[in-house]
């Protein structure tokens, strides 16, 4: 086997593992964070700090390689702002608000809608990718498995349903924003490396969230909480810096359908963590649904990508 192909495969496996595990745990961690800290300021501090930290690392790496510090053009700043608006501001503001009112695993289950939107929106743009019959079958199986996982969580008093309607719609809107930003990022033509682009769009989105935090008075409600600060540190280092970089690299190196598989796996991890950490019951339907999700994931990952010039790697380079 070609060493270059082996290295690429190892990078793919590692990047998917990071996105699956870190983002699967982020629902529980964010839930713990917003229980102790005001939500929009929690998100703003997370992304501003993470963006600055990640950009500093990117600058050091570029300097080590003898390259100049990244200086985005006006057009690249527009791309950065659009991705930051969709992927950070819309997605995380909507999700973090909804997490105040719904269980963490329920938010993770709702996020599977991204796995539908990403392949569908991925039919558009310069790097459009067709959905093969095998991939479509994998998506349907994955969605079916997630529905089975969600069924026990949906049981409860009817009187509670209206109260959860707006948080549910908010999280779903965030998923749509995330998917749109992901496909936009996939089609961006930029000279920036993945880490620099990711850091700058996180910083832009974090500043947008800071405006929202100021509007809702989150600054006056801030308190120094060990639980909140611990959750914030985890989200900055692992979720924002490491997992976002892995996801950005994957967005231009795999098909939209393969990229969307994180939306199937994350709810599974979130439920398992809820069962392990919060002693939530893991029923038979959830176990069956988990196995079905993994079956859909296997189908999508083993599907052969349609041959098209548009599938050539473009955009941010590794």
Which band of pLDDT confidence, cut at 50, 70 and 90, is reported for residue 151? low
184-213 confidence digits (pLDDT tens):
888 888 888 888 998 999 999 999 999 999
Residue 278 has pLDDT above 80, yes or no: no
| 203 within a domain of the structure (yes/no) | yes
| 7 within a domain of the structure (yes/no) | no
Position 126 scores a pLDDT of 67
Q: Please give the mean pLDDT across all residues of the chain.
A: 82
Residue 114 has pLDDT above 60, yes or no: yes
| 1 within a domain of the structure (yes/no) | no
Residue 167 has pLDDT above 90, yes or no: no
Position 160 scores a pLDDT of 45
Which band of pLDDT confidence, cut at 50, 70 and 90, is reported for residue 315? very low
Position 163 scores a pLDDT of 52
| 3 within a domain of the structure (yes/no) | no
| 317 within a domain of the structure (yes/no) | no
| 111 within a domain of the structure (yes/no) | yes
| 318 within a domain of the structure (yes/no) | no
Residue 7 has pLDDT above 80, yes or no: yes
Predicted TM-score (pTM) of this structure:
0.79
Q: 33-37, 134-138, 247-251, 269-273 — which one is most confidently predicted on average?
A: 33-37
Residue 261 has pLDDT above 90, yes or no: no
Q: Structural domain of residue 216, as residue ranges?
A: 12-311
Q: Please tell me the total count of domains within the chain.
A: 1
Residue 51 has pLDDT above 70, yes or no: yes
Q: By C-alpha distance, which of 240, 169, 250, 252 is closest to 205?
A: 240
Q: Residue range 25-30: average pLDDT? A: 92
Residue 17 or residue 149, greater confidence: 17
Q: Residue range 273-288: average pLDDT? A: 72
| 2 within a domain of the structure (yes/no) | no
Position 282 scores a pLDDT of 61
59-113 confidence digits (pLDDT tens):
998 888 888 887 899 999 999 999 999 999 999 999 999 988 887 877 887 787 7
Q: Residue range 137-155: average pLDDT? A: 70
């Amino acid at each position: 086997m070609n060493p270059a192909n082996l290295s690429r495969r190892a990078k793919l496996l590692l990047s998917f593992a990071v996105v699956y595990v870190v983002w699967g745990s982020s629902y529980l961690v964010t839930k713990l964070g917003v229980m102790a800290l005001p939500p929009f300021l929690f998100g703003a501090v997370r992304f501003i700090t993470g963006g600055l930290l990640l950009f500093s690392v990117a600058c050091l790496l570029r300097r080590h390689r003898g390259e100049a510090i990244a200086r985005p053009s006006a057009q690249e700043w527009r791309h950065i702002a659009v991705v930051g608006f969709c992927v950070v501001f819309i997605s995380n503001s909507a999700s973090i608000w909804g997490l105040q009112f719904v269980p963490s695993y329920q938010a993770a289950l709702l996020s599977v809608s991204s796995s539908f939107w990403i392949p569908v929106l991925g039919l558009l743009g310069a790097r459009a990718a067709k959905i093969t019959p095998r991939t479509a079958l994998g998506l349907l199986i994955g969605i079916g498995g997630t529905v089975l996982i969600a069924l026990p969580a949906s049981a409860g008093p009817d009187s509670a349903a209206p109260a959860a309607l707006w948080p549910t719609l908010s999280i779903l809107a965030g998923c749509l924003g995330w998917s749109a930003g992901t496909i936009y990022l996939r089609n961006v033509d930029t000279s920036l490396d993945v880490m620099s682009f990711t850091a700058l769009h996180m910083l832009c989105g974090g500043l947008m969230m800071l405006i929202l935090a100021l509007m809702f008075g989150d600054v006056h409600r801030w308190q120094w909480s060990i639980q909140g600060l611990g959750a914030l540190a985890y989200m900055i280092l692992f979720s924002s810096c490491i997992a976002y970089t892995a996801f950005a690299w994957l967005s231009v190196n795999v098909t939209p359908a393969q990229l969307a598989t994180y939306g199937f796996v994350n709810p599974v991890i979130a439920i398992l963590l809820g069962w392990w950490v919060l002693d939530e019951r893991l029923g038979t339907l959830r176990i069956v649904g988990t196995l079905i999700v993994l079956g859909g994931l296997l189908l999508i990952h083993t599907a052969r990508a349609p041959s098209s010039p548009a599938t050539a790697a473009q955009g941010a380079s590794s």
